[in-house]
A and B are shown apart, each in its own frame.
Chain A
């Protein structure tokens, strides 16, 4: 069941995840495709999530956009940012000293180099924002040294979040607090609970597949399209997006992991198999969540939450036995 239909309003719609938007030329989704997408979501009981570009939209688009209840994901530089449900910041510097609405979720896209250099700036933001989703855009490029550095950054974040809780501010930082409150996998859900409609009228598993198709359609044998808005959704081998058919994920308890199927495809050539980097990063986060929860328990906080167990691996691949 597709709970969410992401509609890319423009080829230049902001990236709110780890993929990169290469296009610099604006190409709005044709109005009839936008209307068909809305009709499709109504027929399928899906919530529409609009992904906005940086630029202003024609009034006729605004009218159509508002013809259905929706969620708006916008870059922080959008002229409509005051109406956003989710704001995307690109780079750590862009998020510092901003005013945050208590009802708006915040996504911060950064890369490892910036994260390791400027994590203290993120620490200063953590108490200010009700929910911060940290997105590292070059997970695929992490080395053993980077894992160590990320572990250390997470330790700093544990201190910041712990202080907030001690002060009565129950902040949310995806890489630390999500795992604490989850009892089962809660991942991106691309291809299972959400799907993306691109300006070309085709459905994609997520915006990253569309961007990849645009960038190298002539090279790749896959166009990555999974149907179109006129003829409907057609996800071949759809079962491979389910956790049950992802062997490593099915045995994993890093419940907060994104399980990014695009990153899987990029790193291992299979959508159901994560690369080592995604697994290790998720486990570092899981273990940092475990340490945070221990500290909170010791302080008498969140005692209703079950503790997270110690494990002796960072990559489930190390322990898998078929």
Chain B
């Protein structure tokens, strides 16, 4: 089996969060499961001393919650230990590691968070989640105790964030109720200085009749504005990408999702193929633990994840779908929604939303190229001035 270039290792440092976002897939957050430094240390010791299971040249160390910044001191301790140990062991990851976390932004300006960012800025990627306009953001992203929207407390930290990041980005999540706010939200985020917007519909089956029509209307409006105001030159919204909406590549059968190639560790020291397989992420199914800090990885439990192929997990209608490329899935959600305890049954809850996205994506590119052509640019010249989205779906 080919060794991937990157290993992503995620520390679930806490399952607590100040917010109780309505669309959050973490269904069993709590303030009891906080990772101890001892568990994190043992995890690092295991990982660094078992190179045969962690042979990737590069590593992304991610911290997730709940809200990871609630445990910024622990994150700092873990980071320091990782750096010390990779140096001591002359481990190749000493010079190739990246650090990252996505935060709700509430504590972004705190002294400890800022110290951590400054200390690790050469290796660090931080994303603040802000969902768009206050209307959209506060519809879902509310405080767990008061139910109050968190927009005002996040947006005040955005200037500091955009100043510190080379290309400030955010993750936007869309569920059914906030569809009418998609266009205004993306444009609002651009106006705040966010340059790359990774946006996706939730994978859960929350979609109502007519939601695809609303999404389509919103994205057509967004496409028009992005072209009219020439936002395509230096801003990206991942909904628009030239790579989506094509048939699947028949020669590529690898899984879209990175589950199993990455690893998550929780407060109990259990290993998961990704965070979505930890119990706090699952509504219906039992957790899928693939090992722990004491016994190591159970490779048999990992095998189904590493052999997940497109063909084996997708229904025929998806494999043969003429616009299948870019239609994302989450293996954790697939597992949770499956009729049996399998990771090999793809959820198709997003089908109509993907189709709406592809229609508007086609519209965007056709209109954009025609506009630029009328300005006298051929396609090659046009491509040079269009900022391309990474089209990375986000979990």
Q: Which A residues lie at the B interface, using CB under 8 A?
A: 221-222, 236-237, 240, 245-248, 267-277, 317-322
Contact = CB atoms under 8 A, between A and B. Distances in A.
Interface stretch (B140-148, B155-163, B299-307): B299-307
Interface in B287-344: 288, 299-301, 303-304, 306-307, 309, 311-312, 338-344
Closest 3 CB pairs of A and B: A322-B254, A270-B304, A273-B304
A237 B303 contact: no
A273 B307 contact: yes
A240 B344 contact: yes
Contacts of B253: 322
Contact of A320 (B299, B304, B307): B307
Given A237-B340, A237-B344, A321-B2, A276 B307 contact: no
Contacts of A322: 253-255, 307, 309
B312 A247 contact: yes
Given A237-B339, A240-B342, A276 B312 contact: no
Given A221-B341, A237-B340, A247 B1 contact: no
B344 A270 contact: yes
A201 B109 CA distance: 64
Interface residues of B, number: 26
A318 B344 contact: no
A281 to B, nearest CB: 14
Contacts of A268: 300-301, 303-304
A246 B304 CA distance: 10
25 contacts: A221-B286, A221-B341, A236-B339, A237-B339, A237-B340, A237-B342, A240-B342, A245-B312, A247-B307, A247-B309, A248-B307, A270-B304, A270-B344, A271-B342, A272-B304, A273-B307, A274-B303, A276-B303, A277-B300, A317-B306, A317-B307, A320-B1, A321-B1, A322-B255, A322-B307
Contacts of B288: 269
B103 interface: no
A274 B301 CA distance: 10
A228 to B, nearest CB: 17
Given A245-B312, A275-B300, A317-B307, A270 B342 contact: yes
A216 to B, nearest CB: 12
A195 B299 CA distance: 30
B285 interface: yes
B345 interface: yes
Q: Which secondary structure dominates chain A's binding surface?
A: loop
Contacts of A320: 1, 307
Contacts of B338: 237
B140 to A, nearest CB: 30
Contacts of A319: 1
A318 B2 CA distance: 9
A220 to B, nearest CB: 8
A276 to B, nearest CB: 6
B317 to A, nearest CB: 13
B302 to A, nearest CB: 8
Q: Residue among B312, B338, B339 with the most chain A CB within 10 A?
A: B312
A222 B304 contact: no
Given A240-B342, A245-B344, A272-B312, 10 more contacts: A221-B341, A236-B340, A245-B311, A269-B301, A270-B304, A270-B342, A274-B303, A319-B1, A320-B307, A322-B309
A317 B303 contact: yes
A274 B2 CA distance: 19
A320 B255 CA distance: 13
Nearest to A247: B307
A277 B303 CA distance: 12
Contacts of A272: 304, 312, 344
Contacts of B311: 245
Nearest to B341: A222
Contacts of A269: 288, 301, 304, 341
B118 to A, nearest CB: 41
A271 B345 CA distance: 12
Q: Residue among B286, B299, B307 with the most chain A CB within 10 A?
A: B307
A237 B342 CA distance: 9
A319 B255 CA distance: 17
A225 B255 CA distance: 30
A164 B1 CA distance: 41
Interface in B241-294: 253-255, 285-286, 288
A153 to B, nearest CB: 23
Interface string B326-370: 000000000000111111110000000000000000000000000
A183 B273 CA distance: 37
Contacts of A222: 340-341
Interface in B1-30: 1-2
B340 A276 contact: no
Contacts of B255: 322
Contacts of B342: 237, 240, 270-271
Contacts of B344: 237, 240, 245, 270, 272
Contacts of A275: 300, 303
A322 B339 CA distance: 25
Contacts of B301: 268-269
Nearest to B311: A245
B309 A270 contact: no
A36 to B, nearest CB: 25
Contacts of A221: 285-286, 341
A322 B249 CA distance: 12
A267 B312 CA distance: 19
Nearest to A221: B286
A240 B304 CA distance: 12
B363 to A, nearest CB: 33
Contacts of A276: 299-300, 303
A305 B309 CA distance: 34
A236 B340 CA distance: 7
A272 B303 CA distance: 11
B281 to A, nearest CB: 16
Given A221-B341, A245-B344, A269-B341, A318 B304 contact: no
Contacts of A245: 311-312, 344
A277 B300 CA distance: 9
Contacts of B343: 270
A118 B258 CA distance: 47
A169 to B, nearest CB: 39
